[in-house]
């Protein structure tokens, strides 16, 4: 195979760099798992990996036996996030840079790695603190606003753990429904073999769907958004039930709609965090209204028609965390408004109910009318 690849590359005028190539010869029939065989590419010797030696392949450590969690790649991504934070970009530009450059990088690495969740939780914690800082939110603010889409009033930054679960589900489904019969048969035989060992009998299609719903890494995500694998008896196909947005129904994604799975999962995750924030009696009241129309959140992707002072105020106001006496939830603090004497100094009263600001209301009304 290497000789044919070399001939094809020479015919096309391409030349491989042997210093960037590596080979791994695994022999499962002997006690010595890795053999020191030498392979040639275009007549030059490649690096031969030894046991426990790793090769960085597209950001993922590869070798035998090697822990595939790319700690170096995650650390590099977090360094890039810190550089974005220390840059002179506007807050909405920092969020846009994170979503445009680093989130696809994380997603690409997750697709090729057997990832552990502990490093991802540390990355999530760092990113969450920085995004709260860019939104000018206090630490007591609920984190749901970070993971909600721009159209519904959030920062549209995905939780890395959810991204990992979604990639696992999508990758497994694409393998089991691959149009290539060879790839599909290998994937199905592997899954059927694992299920057979677990239940110690010949598995049915429903057994496989149950195993995939309860044993994959996506179990936690599936429970939260009510998503699970299901065998469709009418179509004789394996599919994934994904909840529909804004309804109580589910839609089943099968082979014919395999390209819709990732988009459907993303919409379901956004909807889950939006509904979770709406249920908060304190910080979710405004989102019940502002998440209904795109016009209410037009400024979030690019900061259109928005000053820095507006940006620092609007997110705190939407979750009722502006530092006013009435917003304090703990202790026996005095909540009176010293300017007008009202018993509870809340943001709705300051903006819409305090008679001391009636002149500002009139000027605002006249400016709109004129």
Which of 128, 162, 196 lies at the terminal end of a domain, its last residue? 162
Q: Let me know whether 182 and 122 are in one domain.
A: no
Structure confidence at residue 24 (pLDDT): 81
| pLDDT tens per residue, range 203-246 | 887 788 877 776 544 344 566 666 767 777 666 777 777 776 65
Report yes or no on 64 lying in a domain: no
The answer to whether residue 198 is domain-embedded is yes
User: What pLDDT is stored for residue 134 in this prediction?
Assistant: 95
User: Do 149 and 215 share a domain, yes or no?
Assistant: no
Domain shared by 106 and 149, yes or no:
yes
pLDDT at 30: 65
Cα dihedral: 72, 73, 79, 85 (round 10):
-160
Q: Which of 324, 365, 361 is nearest to 342 (CA)?
A: 324
Same domain, 146 and 213: no
Pairing of strands 47-48, 22-23: parallel
Tally of structural domains, the chain = 4
Determine the pLDDT at residue 97: 94
Is residue 251 a part of any domain in this protein?
yes
What is this structure's pTM?
0.77
Contact (CB, 8 A) for 41 and 66: no
Residues 97 and 48 in one domain: no
Cα gap 147→274, rounded to integer Å:
8
For 230-258, letters b (16+ CB in 10 Å) and e give bbeeeeebbbbbbbeeeeeebbebbbeeb
Cβ 148 vs Cβ 154: under 8 Å: yes
In a domain, 37, yes or no: yes
Q: How far apart are CA 139 and CA 323, in angstroms?
A: 13
pLDDT at 329: 67
From 147, 162, 177, the end of a domain falls on 162
- The list of the chain residues with pLDDT below 50 reads 216-220
According to DSSP H, which parts of the chain are helical?
2-12, 71-86, 91-97, 103-111, 117-134, 144-147, 160-176, 181-199, 205-215, 219-225, 261-278, 287-290, 308-318, 347-348, 358-369
Residue ranges making up the domain that contains 354: 323-369
Say what the pLDDT of residue 157 is. Answer: 94
Q: Are residues 85 and 102 in the same domain?
A: yes
Residue of 70, 147, 138 whose CA lies nearest to 109: 70
Has residue 287 been placed in a domain? no
Check residue 217 and give its pLDDT.
41
pLDDT given for residue 92 in this prediction = 94
Judged by phi (left if over 0) then psi (alpha if -120 to 50, else beta), residue 216 lies in beta
298 located within any domain: no
Task: Say if residue 86 is in the same domain as residue 136.
Answer: yes
What are the pLDDT digits (tens) for 96-154? 999 999 999 888 888 877 777 788 888 999 999 999 999 999 888 889 999 999 988 89
Residues 6+ apart with CB under 8 A from 74: 109, 119, 120, 123
100 shares a domain with 42: no
Is there a single domain that holds both residue 76 and residue 48? Answer: no
- Give the model's pLDDT for residue 80: 94
Tell whether 299 is covered by a domain.
no
ω into 65 cis (within 30 of 0): yes
- The reported pLDDT for the residue numbered 3 is 84
Asked if residue 189 belongs to a domain, the reply is yes
Please indicate, yes or no, whether residues 31 and 84 belong to a single structural domain of this protein.
no
Identify whether residues 173 and 266 lie together within a single domain.
yes
* pLDDT given at position 127: 94
Give me the pLDDT at residue 218, please.
Answer: 37
Instruction: Judge if 154 and 176 occupy the same domain.
Output: no
């Amino acid at each position: 195979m290497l000789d044919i690849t070399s001939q094809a590359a020479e015919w096309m005028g391409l030349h491989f760099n042997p210093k960037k190539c590596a080979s791994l010869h695994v022999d499962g029939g002997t006690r010595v798992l890795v053999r020191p065989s030498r392979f040639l590419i275009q007549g030059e010797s490649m690096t031969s990996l030894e046991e426990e030696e790793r090769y960085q392949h597209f950001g993922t450590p590869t070798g035998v036996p090697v822990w595939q969690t790319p700690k170096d790649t995650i650390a590099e991504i977090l360094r890039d996030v810190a550089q974005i934070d220390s840059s002179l970009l506007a807050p909405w530009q920092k969020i846009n840079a994170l979503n445009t450059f680093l989130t696809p990088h994380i997603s690409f690495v997750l697709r090729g790695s057997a990832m552990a969740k502990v490093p991802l939780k540390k990355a999530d914690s760092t990113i969450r603190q920085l995004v709260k800082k860019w939104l000018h939110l206090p630490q007591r603010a609920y984190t749901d606003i970070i993971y909600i889409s721009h159209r519904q009033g959030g920062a549209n930054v995905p939780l890395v753990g959810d991204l990992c679960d979604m990639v696992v589900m999508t990758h497994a489904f694409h393998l089991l429904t691959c149009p290539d019969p060879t790839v599909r048969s290998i994937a199905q035989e592997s899954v059927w073999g694992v299920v057979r060992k677990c239940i110690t009998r010949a598995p049915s299609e429903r057994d496989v769907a149950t195993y995939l719903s309860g044993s994959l890494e996506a179990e936690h995500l599936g429970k939260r958004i009510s998503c699970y694998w299901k065998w469709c008896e009418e179509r004789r196909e394996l599919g994934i039930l994904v909840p529909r947005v804004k309804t109580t129904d589910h839609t089943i994604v099968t082979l014919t709609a395999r390209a819709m799975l990732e988009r459907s999962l993303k919409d379901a995750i956004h909807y889950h965090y939006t509904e979770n924030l709406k249920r908060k009696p304190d910080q979710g009241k405004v989102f019940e209204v502002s998440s209904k129309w795109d016009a209410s959140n037009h400024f979030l992707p690019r900061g259109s028609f928005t000053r820095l002072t507006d940006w620092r105020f609007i997110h705190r106001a939407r979750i009722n965390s502006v530092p006013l006496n009435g917003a304090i939830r703990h202790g026996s603090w005095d909540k009176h408004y010293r300017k007008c004497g009202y018993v509870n100094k809340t943001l709705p009263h300051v903006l819409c109910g305090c008679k001391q600001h009636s002149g500002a209301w009139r000027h605002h009304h006249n400016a709109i009318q004129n």
